[in-house]
Structures are given as C-alpha cells and as structure tokens.
Amino acid sequence: MIRFDNVTKSFPDGTEALKGISLVLPARQLTAIIGPSGCGKTTLMKMINKLEKPTGGTISIDGKPIMELDEIELRRSIGYVIQRIGLFPHMTIADNVSLVPRLLGWKNERIDMRIRELLQLTGLDPETYLHRYPLELSGGQQQRVGVVRALAGDPNIILMDEPFSALDPISREQLQDELQNLQQSIQKTIVFVTHDMDEALKIADTIIVMRNGQVEQIGTPQQLVAEPANDFVRNFIGTERISRQRTFSEKKLKEFIPLFERDWRGDAQKVSSDTSIGEAVDQLAESTHDHLAITENGHVIAYASERELLKAALHKEVGASL
C-alpha cells in the first residue's frame, strides 16, 4: 500500500505542483492517475520512487516513510515504464531486461527463467526476441520489452508514465489488453499515468482525477461514470462516455461472452446469459461469490468477475468487435 499524507510540492519558480495531497493507492491493483496537462499527475507518481521529492508531507510504502529508505535500493525495488521506453540500443533484449536482476545479484539460471517467462506472458516468443536488438523491433514490441524489463526484478510496485501514448491506435489497444491480462496473472501494485480517459476507464481498478495539483475524485471506473463528483469530472469524462456506459449496462451478458473467463475453478453464482450487464453487476454485489457463472440452455458458458462486468459496461467498441 502506498500512502500520501498532506503531500505538497513547490518548485523554485513558485509553481505549486501538488497542494496537500492525501490518498491511499491500494495494493495489488492498477490505479490510473488522470487529468489535464500540468495538473500534477506525473509529479505525484515520480514521488513514489523519489525522482521528485515532496516539499512537505509524508509518503510511505507499507508503513515505511520513503524518505528514510535508501534511494538506490528503493528504485531497484520499483519497476518503471516510460513513454520513450529507454531501451539501450547497443544491448540485446536479453541484456536490457536482465539489468536489474543482475544488480540484485540473481544467478544466471534464475535470470534466464524469469526473462523467458515474462516474454511469453507479454506475447513475445523468447527464442525469437532474446538476442535481437531494440531497433529490430516495432514500437509496440519495444514497449512490451519495456514492461518486461520493469517486471524482471519481480517488484511489488510498477510505475507507468503514459507508456502507450506514442503508439498507433491498434498497438495501443493491444497493449492495453495485454496489460489487463498480465495484471490478472501477476497482481502487482501498478500506478499508471495517462491523459486518455478511455484508457483509464478500460484498464484501471481505481482512477484518480486531478486538477491544479489537487484530487477532484477517486473511484472505480463505474463510480466515476455513474456519479461524477463535480462538473469538472463530468466534463472530463464526457457526456458521450456517460451515455455509452448507461446504454451498455442495458445490454445482455450473451453479447459480451468473448470478454469473459472460460476456465474459472472457484465457486460462482449462476445467472442467465439473458441478464443485462447492469443487473449482473447488482447481483454480484449482493452475492457471497467473486464470480458469476453465465448459463445458456442450462450449461455454463463463461464466468465473469466484477472487474470484467464493469469493463464490459464501459467498453466503447464491444458491439462492433464481437
């Protein structure tokens, strides 16, 4: 858990980048920080690994104030993915990804296993890509390698600073999907800065909306769309997105089956595929189970968690893509 207590940040020119920020970033979830340019979102994220230091207040990780932690050790323990990727062009993909594990003193066998595992998780065949150089890869492939490098040392926290914003729309959407699937497997604490509301609504468990160095609202994607805190949040989300969410909430589960899980092994509450997304969300909220088992003609055809139901309700192009 990452905690900010009354954190402020002022620069020498008098700019107040952050004004008394107090919030908690939940562990093992993806939190998106969003807002207009200059709102303080990147400054807030960079304080977690001490790339920026607060003027006042306290930041703590798992109860330990970060200003008391060794700066180098802290940064080695946190993954970091940036828009420009930052791969070393003269080093192979294997050498780029192994940097932090080697600094941490890992043995070669462990490093090799970790790299291969992560490349496979992000859709890159190890035998194909391990010995290539960054310039031999597409932008999307390089960004995947950037994610792998951030995960290589098995950090509990990963910071992502607008990592997909420079990519073409198709690559960007593919990487958003990859990140969602990856997070379901690794369950890390991810802090993701973006200026794209559609991206935040799609990938985040929690969204922090900022303006002028302050937090305007914190909530799940569903909460922000259903109950924007003020006119700024409502306008930033956009009336079109709000209307879209309400429309999709009325659609039936059977229209979204490809978005849901097929091999859930735990207990689940059964619900008909003719149930609407909105009704399904309400039923799951009242249930003691974490998943719904979606049935058709008496047979279970898919499973859906609350996260997947909300993503379906917010998915902007699902009707066209299925």
Regarding whether 276 and 225 lie in a shared domain, the answer is no
For the chain, the residue count is 322
CATH code, domain carrying 237: 3.40.50.300
Rg (alpha carbons) of the chain, rounded to whole number: 21
- Indicate whether 57 and 127 sit together in one domain: yes
Residues 299 and 282 in one domain: yes
Cα distance between residue 293 and residue 300, in whole Å: 6
Report the largest interatomic distance among the alpha carbons of the chain, rounded to a whole angstrom.
Answer: 67
244, 264, 281 - which closes a domain = 244
The helix-helix angle for 239-249 and 306-314 (nearest 10°) equals 120
pLDDT of residue 261: 82
Q: Which residues contact 65 (CB under 8 A, 6 or more apart)?
A: 58, 59
| Domain boundary residue, one of 190, 209, 244 | 244
Q: Two tokens at 273?
A: 């595929």
Residues 52 and 93 in one domain: yes
Q: How far apart are CA 162 and CA 183, in angstroms?
A: 17
How many independent structural domains does the chain possess?
2
The pLDDT value recorded for residue 243 is: 65
What type of residue sits at position 264? W
Amino acid, res. 192? F
Give the structural domain span for 218: 2-244
Q: Are residues 60 and 181 in the same domain?
A: yes
Both 128 and 181 in one domain: the answer is: yes
Q: State which amino acid sits at residue 66.
A: I
**Residue 198's pLDDT is what?**
87
The answer to whether the pTM exceeds 0.85 is no
Residue 215's H or E segment, with its range, is: strand 214-219
Same domain as 122, residue 68:
yes
**Any alpha helices (H) in the chain, and if so which ranges?**
41-46, 71-76, 93-97, 99-103, 108-121, 126-129, 139-151, 169-186, 197-203, 221-226, 231-237, 239-249, 277-286, 306-314, 318-321
Among left, alpha and beta (phi > 0; psi -120 to 50; other), residue 124 is beta
230 with 257, same domain? no
- pLDDT tens over the chain, length 322 residues: 999 999 999 999 988 999 999 999 999 999 999 999 999 999 999 999 999 999 999 999 999 999 999 999 999 999 999 877 788 999 999 999 999 999 999 999 999 999 999 999 888 999 999 999 999 999 889 989 999 999 999 999 999 999 888 888 888 888 888 888 888 888 899 999 999 998 998 889 999 999 999 999 999 887 888 889 999 999 998 877 766 666 666 788 888 888 888 877 788 889 999 998 878 888 887 888 889 999 999 899 999 887 778 777 665 443 333 3
Please tell me whether residues 50 and 127 are part of one structural domain.
yes
Domain boundary among 228, 244, 260: 244
102's tokens: 């080697």
- Please, what is the angle between helix 306-314 and helix 277-286, to 10°? 160
Q: Which of 216, 212, 234 is nearest to 225 (CA)?
A: 234
Name, in order, each residue with C-beta under 8 angstroms of 260's C-beta and a sequence gap of 6 or more: 253, 294, 302, 303, 304, 308, 312
CATH of the domain at 284: 3.10.580.10
Give which of 114, 256, 115, 122 is closest to 178, Cα–Cα. Answer: 122
**Same-domain pairing of 163 and 181:** yes
* Nearest-angstrom CA–CA distance, 163 and 159: 10
Residues 142, 125 share a domain: yes
- Residues 131 and 214 grouped into a single domain: yes
Looking up tokens 């379901």 gives: 184
